[in-house]
Structure 1
Amino acid sequence: MPRPRKELICVEQTPYYHCVSRCVRRACLCGKDSFTGKSYEHRRGWVERRLYFLARVFAIDLCAYAVMSNHTHVVLRVATERAQQWSNKHVLRQWHKLHRGTRLTQLYAQGATLSQAERATVNACVSVYRQRLQSISWFMRELNEYIARQANKEDDCTGRFWEGRFKSQALLDEAALLSCMVYVDLNPLRAGMVIAPEDARFTSIAARIRAFKTRRQPPRLMPFIPPTGISNSLHLPLSTTDYITLVDYTGRCIAANKKGVIPASLPPILERIHVDQAHWLSVTHKFEQHFRGAASILTMKNAV
């Protein structure tokens, strides 16, 4: 029996979550329909553009993503502290990018003078919107409903497009976060869609590599530690160079079918997060098989 979403997402434990949405329609989300021969590859762009848009609206950072033929992977970070710092007007401006809100919230956002009772009503709305703008459930709802409507319109049909619930996994430590990001970024490689991570267009690793070539961070993705080495809660816990190297070496081992065989030039990040090399490859190859619920590699390792 599925567990309530409130038991799966608890920002007091961790701000990081891995979410998966699967398509239920035979024609699938993207790719080519083998029955009709029609291509749906353009829908990958729909998903990527919507993810980027939502990352600008919500107080939620986009860490990694991969748009597959019949499902999507996203790794998200809930930025609660950012949402709490937003002014009431900023909350309304963000929410109005998604929905019209109410007549009073529209007037308040435009700077109109309201009565005390009207301001109290607006404040109540702001409180609700602020919580929604830091909710993974609302983020995934705004992603999946939008794509479903677009696909139904294109297919000239109605009905369910996604499974009833998206799957969410809490990532409880840095090792779980990094291994899940690598797992997501290497999804197209494992599926045989590409031979190199940078060739998978609609993935976060491809976007990061494109930006890395110009010595910058992708503007819509949560950044890694900058070259200055000064990091804080706004950065992922390693440098861009280390992460790309980590993905490359992990991908080489998987693509070459050398399970448990580790390159001599192992990325130093694995030593820093204290993860056994063979264990790392196993987890990044079969992340969802290892973890059915919350993911913590260090806890799992100690239990073995």
Structure 2
Amino acid sequence: MARLARAEVFDPNEVAFAHVIARTVRRCFLFGDDPASGKNFDHRKIWIEQYLQHFAACFGIDLICFAILSNHYHLILRSRPDVVKNWDDTEVARRWLMLCPHRKDADGNPCQPSKPELDAIRNCPVKLADIRSRLSNISWWMRLLNQRVAQRANAEDEEMGRFFQDRYKAVRLIDESAVLACAAYVDLNPIRAAMAETIEQSDHTSAQRRIETHTQQPAESHSDGLRHDDSFLSPVENDEADGETGPVPSQSGKRCSDKGFLWFSLERYLELLDWTAREIADGKRDQTPQHLAPILQRLGLESSVWCELVADFGKLFKTVAGNPCAVDEYRSCQTQRRFRLPRRIRDLIPTG
């Protein structure tokens, strides 16, 4: 079966959540200990984190979660055309030139664009409109990220050809249950892969970044020896009751917006991750703790169903993810086609 065109799933004019995955060629461990070459490439995980911080500060896209493993990485991104729409022409040109600079300093960092460089974009309506669209386009984020990682790694190895296996995989998350389950799936990836025992020890994940910032105590196991913070990540809690409505553009310059993505606090999210990690690791389904039960009740999920969704999210959802009722009502962007879900999803989450 031919794979569905990306334009059928993602409308560039809509705010959309996407779970994206990129794998190295033949799943070789080109981000970690590679048994074939006997080399260690953990430093490339640091490259990716650095690019993620830079992209979060320049693109009109929120970085929700990330996890970088030895042969692939996961991101959850939220496109924000509503934020980009409010940027003036100079801001659009400046951000693009910080992503694709004409000049770099001695350390390889982009130089602040000059007036002629800015004018070349802002004085051309066609180019300006195209770049404004690119800045909230998840495909452009992934294109530039994978291109830079691949070029840098190939130069380091003195190799040519493909570095990533294929085009990145993208699954649209269409409701809050899909966003929460996917976030837990991404943040718990190192634990599921037996690369870490706890969330705090899960290097190169957004969960670890949030814990360090929340506790103000850096983890001791960092491979880069640097203190991390989560200022480039989207906040967890989206409290519209406190006036956080609309685009909520960030004032820090480190991320696109200050709009959260869940209806509960960071503390509750980390508690839910910790409990879920223990349930998945032990393989025993226990009663949901009282303070976490309302979260799953809102989603209409039993604890056993929740754990299976988190453990097997990548296998269960291929194109779109969400409650079967929401998926049944959803249509593709161009041809208005229905999306199908595996029968296992319908068994886990009955529609009526």
Q: TM-score, normalised by structure 2?
A: 0.77
The correspondence for 2:261, drawn from 227, 230, 236, is: 236
Distance 1:282 1:14, change over 3 A: farther
Q: Which residue does the alignment assign to 1:78?
A: 79
Shift of 1:297: 2.8
Please give the per-residue CA displacement for 1:154-178, whole angstroms capped at 9, x wherever unaligned.
Answer: 1111100012210000101001001
User: Is the Cα contact below 8 Å between 1:14 and 1:171 reproduced in 2?
Assistant: no
Q: Which residue does the alignment assign to 1:22?
A: 23
The correspondence for 2:215, drawn from 213, 232, 241, is: 213
Shift of 1:121: 5.2
- Unaligned segments of structure 2, at least 5 residues: 103-112, 218-228, 247-258, 326-345
Please give the per-residue CA displacement for 1:234-273, whole angstroms capped at 9, x wherever unaligned.
Answer: 1122210111011011101011121x43444461321233
Which residue identity lines up with residue 223 of structure 1 in the other structure? P
Q: Which residue does the alignment assign to 1:224?
A: 236
User: Is the Cα contact below 8 Å between 1:89 and 1:109 reproduced in 2?
Assistant: no
Q: SS where residue 320 of structure 2 aligns?
A: coil
Q: How many residues align structurally?
A: 293
Please give the per-residue CA displacement for 1:50-98, whole angstroms capped at 9, x wherever unaligned.
Answer: 1111111100000001001111100001111100000000000000012
Root-mean-square deviation (Å): 2.5
For 1:81 and 1:98, locate their aligned partners in 2 and report how far apart those are by CA, in whole Å: 20
Distance 1:34 1:128, change over 3 A: same
Q: TM-score, normalised by structure 1?
A: 0.88
Shift of 1:30: 1.2
Distance 1:221 1:214, change over 3 A: same
The correspondence for 2:296, drawn from 270, 278, 286, is: 270
User: Is the Cα contact below 8 Å between 1:20 and 1:167 reproduced in 2?
Assistant: yes
For 1:9 and 1:43, locate their aligned partners in 2 and report how far apart those are by CA, in whole Å: 29
Residues 1-304 of structure 1 aligned to structure 2 (within 5 Å) = 1-10=2-11, 15-25=16-26, 27-100=28-101, 107=115, 122-214=124-216, 218-225=230-237, 230=242, 231-232=244-245, 234-237=259-262, 238-258=264-284, 260-265=285-290, 267=292, 268-297=294-323, 299=325, 300=346, 301-303=349-351
- Which shifted more, 218-227 or 138-147? 218-227
For 1:170 and 1:163, locate their aligned partners in 2 and report how far apart those are by CA, in whole Å: 21
Q: Which residue does the alignment assign to 2:225?
A: none
Shift of 1:108: 5.3
Please give the per-residue CA displacement for 1:11-66, whole angstroms capped at 9, x wherever unaligned.
Answer: 66751110001111564331111133211111111111111111111000000010
Distance 1:96 1:13, change over 3 A: closer
Q: Structure 1 vs Structure 2: percent identity of aligned residues?
A: 32
Instruction: Give the helix-richer structure, 1 or 2.
Output: 1
For 1:229 and 1:14, locate their aligned partners in 2 and report how far apart those are by CA, in whole Å: 20
- Unaligned segments of structure 1, at least 5 residues: 113-117
